Amino acid sequence: MGASKVDIYSAEINDMATIAKVFAHPARVAILQYISKQEGCICNDIVDEIGLSQPTISQHLKVINEAGLLKGNFVGKSICYCLNINRFQEFQELFNSFFNKTKSNCC
């Protein structure tokens, strides 16, 4: 597999792709939905709810976190996750702008 050429694209395009990657996997969407319904959430709670192994959940959380969609703090040896609402708003504005521009340019 060749090297990624993300540096040839704008920050906005890379940002959209990073966030789209989160929503491209049903387990990540399920994790986000679960966290959104909680005041706080520890990783093991997610494992019990989603039904995937702890290492698999951790990998999905890593992708979600890299997109900036999570905030977390340590509670003992666990991390308590919640959604980064500001990042979700940025995501919504970014995609709305993209779709609106696309719509206005197409017949």
Yes or no: say if 67 and 57 are a contact pair by the CB < 8 Å rule.
no
Residue of higher predicted confidence among 20 and 77: 20
Contacts of 74 (CB under 8 A, 6+ apart): 80
Domains delineated in the chain: 10-105 (1.10.10.10)
pLDDT one-digit tens code per residue, 35-67: 998 876 676 788 888 989 989 998 999 999 999
Q: How far is CA 94 from the centre of its chain?
A: 14
